[in-house]
A and B are shown apart, each in its own frame.
Chain A
Amino acid sequence: MTQTQNAAPDEAAVVYPSPFKEFWQGFSHNKGAVVGLAFMTLILLAAILAPWIAPYSPIEQYRDHMLVPPVWSDGGTSQFLLGTDEAGRDILSRLIWGARQSLFIGLSSVLMALIPGVVGGLLSAFFPKLLGSSIMRLMDVLMALPSLLLAVAIVAILGPGLINSIIAISVVSLPAYVRLTRASAMTELNRDYVTAARVSGAGLLRLMFVTVLPNCLAPLIVHATMSFSSAIIDAAALGFLGLGVQPPTPEWGMMLASARDYIERAWWVVSLPGLTILLSVLAINLMGDGLRDALDPKLKRAA
């Protein structure tokens, strides 16, 4: 009995960490995630501050400095730290400005898939009969097409360009959001707290967005991170195929489109843009792993 008497004040004295602190503890436990976050912060800063930190204009062509190698290579100059491309444009500046395109396409396509995806998923969970099953059949159709092929087809129909790339990428990433939201909302709908809210007279919108949605957020956030990285890759792939952002706007994937011709002469033109894509995507995926650890221990096994 003495033990239980002691335990009560102990428990009252426990200070629960704030949600953010708790999240950060879980997240920072994963070293890779912290490295990923640091790298992405760097890229984000570069994108925001591009006009001030880029040494040159990304489209300015220095005709007498074509295909200059990076500074540490033979023949490199400190004038162009990462060298220049076939048209004499500074690669470092193009990479910095290119970050804007990639992050912009990535973020906007995530948002454009997330919002309708969540709404569609919630609707199909709340009205599983007719509306739900027709939404799900539609998603099945979209899922049957290889995502890049579908994106390419959409851009082919709508025409190349920044906005159309975003539309194409959001369309192909839509089904995953719908399915994920529907699946987690379906589980939540059976819980007692939802019934309690229903009984106390919460309206449909309130039930959907205030009662159920917050409890489905963890897997959605993790998935949004992962789809952010695949959006960046897909955008770069579209650019590489000449269907994305149009020249002269610098974009990482597009920088590689012409690189094939310089494969024998200028390794830096080929390597650097792709390396930037790889590192950014890797950083985001590392962050995604960390988010999964921090937000939803149940999801750990799903990878």
Chain B
Amino acid sequence: MFSFILRRLGLLIPTFFGITLLTFSLIRLIPGDPIEVMVGERSLDPQMHAAALHRLGLDKPLYLQYIDYVVNLAHGHLGDSLITRVDVWTEFTTLFPATLELAICAMIFAVVLGLLAGIVAAIKRGSLFDHGVMGLSLTGFSMPIFWWGLILIMFFSVRLGWTPVAGRIDLAFDIPPRTGFMLIDTWLASSRDPSLSGAFVDALKHLILPTIVLGTIPLAVIARMTRSSMLEVLREDYVRTARAKGLSPSRVIFIHALRNALIPVLTVIGLQVGVLMGGAVLTETIFSWPGIGKWLIDAIQRRDYPVVQNGILLVATLVILVNFVVDILYGVANPRIRHAK
């Protein structure tokens, strides 16, 4: 198992360097003079221009610039935002819990419902339920989620008034950030201060619609994949063997079939992490959710290049790390992979 993890880790390193190369060159693709673009002024004093070039290390040859970039990264220097002057790492870590909280909720929503729907659809193949799941999942898969968010807001927030329109918590609640996870923070706060007792429920209400919006596409993909994978596994000989042992149907399905059916589903779930990060950009924009996605979009619109560059680097690193963890889990779930040389 240990050597399996090491092998996978070895594959990560070139990918990571590839990504640094990509984010490094990204900034250099900006048309026009980088200093003018970054400072936002034209016809800068030539002396200041040269000084700025030198300060940013842009007067060195490209490969040295890249080495500087990687060395800085290795020391944890990700640069400062041009707008807020706060360093990128601090901004990222402040905002990341909001995205993580939303992503975890969306993933739970998608995995629980998707697995259930997929399993039941496979067992009741050809039934009305099966057709319903297939139709809905294709629709979900085709959903432009930014519009889906607007429609949900229009119906549940505006028409019915059940859920708030935007943000993570009502402004009336002043919640001290402790973990950055609003659900946990409000829980902690309300246990100490009874006047904040409604905060947890309020935070939960704020989460519902963004969770649904962000979870829709993963839900559709997981349901489809679970169904087809279950159908395939249910035809396998070892499922027949399990039934011939006189095991109960639930044991046959959940212990014998599902364990094997989950292997491809797990890969698909892992791939959804990238989808979630892309979806977070849209979901957070629609719901004014103060997370990484909205941060990056704001940075792009303000031409805050250090944030764009290293924010993307951080997100990409996160995605490859999650994929790495999924790979490991895949090995745990599938002895054939684990033992493969």
Contact = CB atoms under 8 A, between A and B. Distances in A.
Are any A and B Cβ atoms less than 8 Å apart in their complex? yes
A137 interface: yes
A278 B224 CA distance: 18
B144 interface: yes
Q: Closest 8 A-B residue pairs measured CB to CB?
A: A274-B147, A148-B278, A141-B18, A146-B278, A156-B300, A281-B142, A146-B277, A282-B142
Contacts of A256: 146-147, 150
Contacts of B30: 157
Interface stretch (A3-11, A12-20, A233-241): A233-241
B279 A148 contact: yes
Contact of A149 (B139, B150, B232, B277): B277
Interface size class of B (residues with CB under 8 A): 35 or more
Contact of B31 (A159, A273, A278): A159
Interface in A219-255: 229, 233, 236-237, 240-243, 253
Interface of A: 137-138, 140-150, 152-153, 156-159, 229, 233, 236-237, 240-243, 253, 256, 259-260, 263-264, 267, 270-271, 273-275, 277-278, 281-282, 284-286, 289, 301, 303
Nearest to A232: B144
A146 B319 contact: yes
Contacts of B228: 301, 303
Interface of B: 14-15, 18-19, 21-22, 26-27, 29-31, 138-139, 141-144, 146-148, 150-151, 153-154, 158, 224-225, 228, 232, 274-279, 281-282, 285-286, 296-297, 300-301, 303, 308, 312, 315-316, 319-320, 323
A104 to B, nearest CB: 18
B134 to A, nearest CB: 9
A178 B296 CA distance: 28
Contact of B224 (A233, A274, A303): A303
Contact of A241 (B21, B158, B232, B297): B297
Nearest to A252: B144
B19 A149 contact: no
Contacts of B224: 303
Contacts of B312: 145, 149-150, 153
B281 A229 contact: no
Given A158-B31, A270-B151, A144 B308 contact: no
B142 A152 contact: no
A278 B147 contact: yes
Nearest to B275: A146
23 contacts: A140-B14, A141-B22, A142-B22, A144-B18, A144-B319, A147-B274, A148-B278, A148-B279, A148-B282, A152-B281, A153-B26, A153-B300, A157-B27, A233-B144, A236-B147, A237-B146, A237-B282, A256-B147, A263-B150, A263-B153, A274-B146, A274-B147, A303-B224
Contacts of A275: 147
B279 A259 contact: no
Nearest to A277: B144
B238 to A, nearest CB: 18
Contacts of A137: 14-15, 18
B308 A273 contact: no
A144 B142 contact: no
Contacts of A267: 154
A148 B281 contact: yes
Nearest to A243: B300
Q: Which of A153, A256, A278 has the most CB of B within 10 A?
A: A153
A281 B282 contact: no
A281 B144 contact: yes
Nearest to A155: B300
B151 A274 contact: yes
Given A263-B154, A263-B158, A270-B150, A140 B144 contact: no
A64 B276 CA distance: 43
A194 B320 CA distance: 37
A259 B300 contact: no
A144 B19 CA distance: 8
B130 to A, nearest CB: 14
Given A140-B18, A153-B312, A282-B142, A274 B319 contact: no
Contacts of B277: 146, 149
B256 to A, nearest CB: 20
B18 A157 contact: no
Given A144-B320, A285-B141, 4 more contacts: A146-B275, A157-B29, A233-B142, A242-B301
A84 to B, nearest CB: 18
A259 B282 contact: no
